[in-house]
Structure 1
Amino acid sequence: MDFVLPDQGFHWTDLNFLLIGAGHTLLVSIISGAIGTFFGILLGWLRQALPVVRVITTPYVDVTRSVPLIIQLILANSIIAMSGAQFSTFWLSIIVLSSSMTVVTSEVVRGALSTVPYAYVRASRSLGIGYFQTLMHISAPLALRMGLSAWIGLLLGLTRDTALVSVVGYVDFMKSAQILISRTNETLPLLLGVGLFYFVICFSVSRYSAHLQKGIAS
């Protein structure tokens, strides 16, 4: 008796599975980028303005910057598993990626604010302009010009780093491709598709940021 193996090739129905994974990747990137940028700006400003905050937060910043993101994901997942808590891989990914984005953004913000000539700030204060008005109308615009390019680089890096969340079981675009590779053995076309997906996103963001930087500089 002959046994017929089921067709293990790629089907058009698998395209929906990949699109769902792509949507998960974009969702994680957008949410983590937004949260990390907001808290990164806040933390960077506080670390630049208040030395005590810089001292207190230095261990957190140094550890987060030094430990590879994949290890942070695995450790966080292991700690949650050992605690017995029920926690979705989606929010685990958001927390770890947002934390990383917060730290690197804070360093960009702190560095950009530090480049603002003190003479501008002193002149503003001598005219009776308050600290927050000086920050909003003088320091922040100048810091934006200095730090925007670096922040765009961080955002592109975050988008690429979302591929790492597959290690904790979150079904993003990379995980979707890995599942299909295991079933179909179509390694090359699927990996090329993954690479093209990330290229299109990163290239689009970089081109738009170049246009945005020209507008700010002009």
Structure 2
Amino acid sequence: MSNNMSFFSGFQPHDLLFMAEAAGQTLLISVLSISTGTVFGIIFGWMLQSGNWVVRAILGTVLDVFRSVPLLIQLVLFFNFFPIMGWPLEPFAAGTFVLSLYTASLVAQVARGGIEAVGKPMRRAARSLGMSYWQDMRYVVWPIGLRAVFPAWVGVALGVMKDSALVSVLGYVELLRASQILITRTQEPFIILAVAGAFYFVLSYPLSKYSQKLEERWAS
């Protein structure tokens, strides 16, 4: 009877499929969080720029909390807070909720900067042409302002996509969590982390490339 028994197996082709499925979960939670957070971030940015001082003070303080507290702490606190209140959340729902708020807190400052990038003379000119406030915002401020801050938004989106790895602490099996599982089983961290890095690149590169082409089109 052989005593050479292996408790670990090497990296197998089906492990690559497992990581690909986990990468799909990373993409799903990232797209939902970035899109939802962007919508609310634009609204919050407008409120920070156009609201009265009470709105700016309260909203600014709340958003500062989400920007300042480490995302890992936010995830753990929210995931454990809702069950205490009698509303248990699945890791995916909790992660999406927190990542959306975190994204909104970052995009709010980007959106406010975009609004402020449009000079007052241009806005006065729009109003002098008979545009209402909302027409001014729709046809002048947003097209010019959002173009000005688009690179900053891309940076936020790429950062949130990478930060989605922190949702693994809640038990959500995304790319990093899947990598940890495979490393424990295969004891081949270099190969697995290299593959995980390649997946993150594949997820991030299209957005980066598309944004570059879009900026070139706007500049031409």
Instruction: Give the TM-score range, shorter chain.
Output: over 0.9
Q: Which amino acid aligns with 2:170?
A: V
Aligned residue for 1:128, secondary structure, equals coil
Q: How does 1:153-172 map to 2 (within 5 A)?
A: 153-172=155-174
**CA offset digits 1:141-176 (Å, max 9, x no partner):** 110121101000000101111111111111001100
State the 1:207 CA deviation: 1.4
Shift of 1:114: 0.8
4+ residue stretches of structure 1 with deviation over 6 A? none
Matches within 5 A, 1:14-25: 14-25=15-26
- Tell me the distance in 2 between the aligned counterparts of 1:15 and 1:140: 43
Give the match for residue 44 of structure 1: 45
Asked if the contact 2:8–2:187 (Cα under 8 Å) also holds between the matched residues in 1, the reply is: no
Per the alignment, residue 150 of structure 1 pairs with 152
Aligned mates of 2:208, 2:2 — CA distance in 1? 56
8 A Cα contact 1:64 1:103, kept in partner: yes
Counterpart of 2:55 in structure 1 is 53
* Identical amino acids, percent of aligned pairs: 41
Distance change >3 Å, CA 7–CA 73, structure 1 → 2? closer
1-structure distance, mates of 2:57, 2:196: 41
Aligned length, in residue pairs: 218
Q: 1:145·1:217 contact (CA, 8 Å) conserved in 2? A: no
Task: Give the TM-score normalised by the residue count of structure 1.
Answer: 0.94
User: Match for 2:117 among 100, 115, 118?
Assistant: 115
Alignment match, 2:27 = 26
Q: Within 1, Cα distance between the matches of 2:6 and 2:85?
A: 43
Aligned residue type for 1:154: V
- CA distance in 2 between counterparts of 1:139 and 1:211 reads 22
CA contact (8 A) 2:8 2:185 kept: no
User: Which ranges of structure 2 fall in alignment gaps of 5 or more residues?
Assistant: none
Give distance in 1, aligned partners of 2:212 and 2:205.
11
Q: Hey, what's the Cα distance between the residues in 1 that align with 2:188 and 2:6? A: 17
Q: How far apart are residue 88 of structure 1 and its match?
A: 0.5
1:198 positional shift: 1.3
Matches within 5 A, 1:1-218: 1-3=1-3, 4-5=5-6, 8-51=9-52, 52-83=54-85, 85-218=87-220
Give 1:80 shift. 3.1
